[in-house]
Amino acid sequence: MKAVIMAGGKGTRLRPLTSNLPKPMVPLLGRPCMEYIIDLLKKHGITEIAVTLQYLPKAIKNYFGDGSEFGVNIVYFDETTPLGTAGSVKNCEEFLDERFIVISGDALTDFNLQRAMDFHEISKASSTIVLHQVENPLEYGVVMTDENGRIVRFLEKPTWSEVFSDTVNTGIYILEPSVLTKFERNVEFDFSKDLFPMLLSEGSKMAGYIAEGYWSDIGSLEVYRQTQFDMLDGKVEIDIKAHQLTPGLFVEEDVKIEDLSSIQPPTFIGRGTYVEKGSQLGGYTILGRHNMVKEGAILCRSIFWDHNYLGLKSEFNGVTVCRRSFIEEGSQLFEGVIMGDDCRIGANSHIKPGVKIWPDKDVDANSTVHTSLIWGARAAKSLFGAHSIKGIPNIDITPDFATRLASAMATVFKTGGTVGLSACSHPFSQLIKLAMMTGLQASGVHTIDFGTTISAATRFGVRVNQADGGIHISTDEGKDGFATIEVLDHLGIPISKSVERKIENSYWQEDFVRETVNKLGNNRFNPTVAEDYIAALKREIIVDKVSSSRFTLVLDYNSMVLGTTAMSLLSSLGCKIIQIRSTDQGDFSELIETVKKNRADLGIRLDKDARNYTFVTDEGKVISNDLTIALHLLIHSRSSKTVPFQLGIPVSAPKEIEFLAQKLSTKVIRTKESPREMMEVAREQKFQPLFDGLYSMVKVIGFLAENGLVLSQTLRGLPSFHMARQAVFCDWKNKGKVMRMMMEETKGKQVELLDGIKVYDQDGWVLIMPDIELPHFRVITQGASKEIASLLAQNYVEKIQKYQMV
């Protein structure tokens, strides 16, 4: 069998480690990552190897040559333009005249490849994907197989609600040469996105082999470090080509250590390195070749490549330093510092945690460096949560962060584009808005200042002004509140996940556009957006009918700008308004009591931007979100509109909603729970009924006034349903395992995998949803009665708890 090692990756997320080095050449305990892959192939009798190249190919060719020094025969295939994973292998087609294995040159594994090859032979598949179970499947392609190992579904880089298994694609494939005939040469074509889905749709037999052992896809700086610590701990079966002086202390030849007692294992020290007396090497220190460690230097959990000078009494804790850097005496480098090649750090300098220093940078003596120099590549959690960016004001979200974030957004909105911005009345929100306007304009993007308003008005303003996107900033009132940044597309709905990833990549890499002074973006002020929004809302109803009905409403809100907007709207409709501001947003008792006491026609609670809202009827009944959907279908079925009304409803909505929509000649489309997905369905509507509390309030008031109805009577004509909802804690590392075991549990049952795992049985259905932002699952059920729904929910809560203990 022959092999293809894919070695063309740039390793963008590993920068600055990969600024001057291709990702497969990044060293692991002194040897390039790809060398361990060659060792693995040779161990399994595979010595005829093709290597695909694109980024800095000479570094790989110069090191490995024709492969004879490593006991193999290597043939190189260069890409002049990106061809994708499958396209690059197609480029080697004339070499691949027999069954072959594809493997990445920038991952570390000790899988038994022979077992995978035997499985492929027995399965008679055209292609076999080697799979592995991981704790966090989000960065990989999840693959689902049946009981015979035949692949039935792919999910490339899923969200937590799409993680139906913790079994992922390792990028190791065993293929028959015939699969390469399925697509053309010299076109960009990917295995996971293009070829495998195509083979699956054609009915071609594809197998998935679940491999045991160690596998690490070195895709981030944190994983790069941890992989080497795992090697020192013996978690991966590889050959560390060094002498073990004492247990856990690996030393190559020609190393000079003046005081062996100052070294704490596990530690690796490369050839030609000199460790002076009085220095201290803590556990998980990794020194490459020809490093100088001066007296009094303290090293702990740190990685140094080759030819570095670590000065007198310098300190390193949790850092990674590339090649040929000179760090003078008394300097301190803290957790997460990454330094590229050929840098110089002056004496007594302090490099703060998380700072990235690109190659060829000088830091003056006695300096304190707080931010990355020139470029930074930060492998961290995602910026975006479920639908926005949220953080603690002036800690997570700062003016500096906002400016850089806006610069990253400019790569998506493009030079010459226009973005509308707004903020709530909180001074911090106003400050962040100004910072983001600065970042956008510096990148050549024009801005429209919508002033102080709510996000629904901003969504409206983006559409009316035909902007390319929008940004709304809000800050919770009170000292412990969060700041939130919502990013909208040209339709005024949240940007897609793919756009979020583009912004995140640009932000972490600081790959920003800085325009020349004659191409800077300009700003114009449009303070009437809130007024225009209110006027547009009023055009949705017959105002005279509402005014003459003497409608009484209890308004419960927790934001000044929202209160001002709502009061202005309701006053112009001639409503009697009773205001309250409940301190506990989970308790409706004050709102219910106020509605009853004042014999109000309606009560409504609005969150800070009216994105979330809850109605209370004239009888004091709290209306659930599901019943609110049904109410909207009823109201809009009687509205004569040129645009047919359709609504995106979440997968958790009761089945009766679809029956009701059919009865009322409206249309509903099941979507994921994501606000973006639901809003996308209603993109042709002027307003978003399920995410605009003021619009929803106006439509309900108008409907009741125009038809002479009261809300409690109206709801009696709508279907009833019995739902239960519970949350159950689950550690992040167990989420993928729980989803896999849940899928195994549901085999043979009717299952829907639109979002989370939805299981149907004779008692109703249950939806198991891993939360995107919190370490828990949400369990949502519908049953023939409230008791059945509750029992069904509790049953699955207990299953989730049990699976975590396995």
pLDDT digits over 145-175, tens only? 888 888 888 877 667 777 777 788 899 999 9
Q: Distances in Å between the alpha carbon of 366 and those of 279, 328, 348, 556? A: 22, 10, 5, 56
What CA–CA distance (Å, rounded) separates 460 from 492?
7
Give the confidence band of 317 by pLDDT, cuts at 50, 70, 90. Answer: very high
268 has pLDDT over 90:
yes
Q: Distances in Å between the alpha carbon of 284 and those of 72, 226, 269, 279, 335? A: 32, 10, 11, 15, 14
Q: What is the pLDDT of residues 75-123, one digit of tens each?
A: 999 888 888 888 999 999 889 989 999 999 999 999 999 999 999 999 8
For residues 12 and 509, the answer to whether their CB atoms sit within 8 Å is yes
Say what the pLDDT of residue 279 is.
Answer: 94
What number is the average pLDDT over the span 252-261?
Answer: 91
381 has pLDDT over 50:
no
Q: Distances in Å between the alpha carbon of 672 and those of 193, 421, 581, 624, 753? A: 21, 28, 32, 19, 10
Domain residue ranges of the chain, discontinuous segments joined by +: 2-217, 242-369, 389-532, 540-716, 722-805
238 token code pair? 């590889």
Say what the pLDDT of residue 638 is.
Answer: 77
At 764, which amino acid appears? G
Q: pTM score, two decimals?
A: 0.65
Say what the pLDDT of residue 535 is.
Answer: 94
Say what the pLDDT of residue 527 is.
Answer: 87
What number is the average pLDDT over the span 566-592?
Answer: 88
What CA–CA distance (Å, rounded) separates 244 from 250?
4
Give the confidence band of 693 by pLDDT, cuts at 50, 70, 90. Answer: very high
Say what the pLDDT of residue 51 is.
Answer: 94
Say what the pLDDT of residue 479 is.
Answer: 57
- Same CATH topology for 389-532 and 540-716: the answer is yes
Q: For 254, which DSSP code?
A: T
What number is the average pLDDT over the span 446-452?
Answer: 95
Q: What is the pLDDT of residues 609-618, one digit of tens each?
A: 888 899 999 9
What CA–CA distance (Å, rounded) separates 221 from 211?
25
Quick one: angle between helices 693-707 and 625-637, nearest 10?
Answer: 50
At 61, which amino acid appears? K
What CA–CA distance (Å, rounded) separates 20 from 11?
11
Nearest one of 799, 795, 798 to 781, comparing CA atoms? 795
584 token code pair? 């506990």
> String of b and e for 744-768 (b: at least 16 CB within 10 Å)?
eebeeeeeeebbbbbbeeebbbbbb
Class in CATH terms, 389-532 = alpha beta
The residue ranges of DSSP E strands in 322-403, in sequence order, are 326-327, 332-333, 338-339, 344-345, 350-351, 356-357, 362-363, 368-369, 389-391
CATH topology of domain 242-369: UDP N-Acetylglucosamine Acyltransferase; domain 1 (2.160.10)
CA 305 from centre of chain: 31
Run of H or E including 376: none
Q: What is the pLDDT of residues 661-684, one digit of tens each?
A: 999 888 999 999 888 889 999 888
735 has pLDDT over 80:
yes
193 has pLDDT over 90:
no
Say what the pLDDT of residue 235 is.
Answer: 94
Give the confidence band of 308 by pLDDT, cuts at 50, 70, 90. Answer: very high
The residue ranges of DSSP E strands in 527-574, in sequence order, are 552-556
Q: What is the CATH number of domain 722-805?
A: 3.30.310.50
CATH topology of domain 540-716: Alpha-D-Glucose-1,6-Bisphosphate; Chain A, domain 3 (3.40.120)
Q: What is the CATH number of domain 2-217?
A: 3.90.550.10
SS3 state of residue 303: strand
Give the alpha-carbon dihedral of 551, 555, 561, 566, to 10 degrees. -20
**What strands, in cross-sheet order, belong to the sheet with 356-357?**
243-246, 249-251, 267-269, 285-287, 303-304, 320-321, 338-339, 356-357
What number is the average pLDDT over the span 526-537?
Answer: 92
Q: What is the pLDDT of residues 394-407, one digit of tens each?
A: 877 899 999 999 99
Nearest one of 558, 569, 568, 547 to 611, comparing CA atoms? 558
Side-chain half-sphere exposure of 367, counting CA atoms within 13 A? 15
What CA–CA distance (Å, rounded) separates 652 from 789?
13
DSSP lists the bridge partners of residue 74 as 49
Give the confidence band of 375 by pLDDT, cuts at 50, 70, 90. Answer: very low
What number is the average pLDDT over the span 771-796?
Answer: 90
Q: What is the pLDDT of residues 458-512, one digit of tens each?
A: 999 999 999 999 999 999 876 557 899 999 999 999 998 889 988 888 887 776 7
Percent of the chain with pLDDT over 90: 60
Q: What is the pLDDT of residues 208-256, one digit of tens each?
A: 999 999 999 888 889 999 999 999 999 999 989 899 989 999 999 999 9
Q: What is the pLDDT of residues 26-55, one digit of tens each?
A: 999 999 999 999 999 999 999 999 999 988
What CA–CA distance (Å, rounded) separates 120 from 207?
7
Q: Distances in Å between the alpha carbon of 784 and those of 94, 102, 301, 651, 658? A: 63, 52, 58, 18, 17
First to last CA, the chain: 38
Most confident of 508-522, 528-542, 577-591: 528-542
Say what the pLDDT of residue 451 is.
Answer: 94
At 203, which amino acid appears? G
Average pLDDT, the chain: 89
